[in-house]
Structure 1
């Protein structure tokens, strides 16, 4: 069963371009390391608050990626562009349209 990773975070408006560029590079690295990355979406909730939605092939892949991502230099650089991680959760996808 697929898993959805939901990460809510804050970024200063003047760092949004940097965050988006580093995110793109980080996702390429994550796809290389974890072929189970199915899809991703970046959602702006307000001027400073964003949500990353990533679908993984399994919950096990999602958990492993969450654990190992900070050791991947490109992902670490992306995380460094965030001001604050507000929440990160995983859930099983029970229906997708």
Structure 2
């Protein structure tokens, strides 16, 4: 059966005075909202390249969000009476 939905994702990046870039990514599915967080710190000896901090912080925030989605899927699968997989693979979908 075909299934099409649209989920909205917003990514916010901001840098503080100490050189820490922080990211917040929010996913809105229409019925659920999840928020992932990430940060990146520029080492004092490194050249300050804001784009790298943005990439690291955003990637870490999205990774945090992805883990939350996987955990939610596992809980939903368990709620259907399917036992938790012995590996990190969820219900036959390869990682």
Shorter-chain TM band? under 0.3
TM-score (norm 2): 0.28
Q: Which has the higher contact order (CA 8 A, sep 6+)?
A: 1
Higher helix share: 1
Q: Which has the larger radius of gyration?
A: 2
Q: TM-score, normalising length from structure 1?
A: 0.27
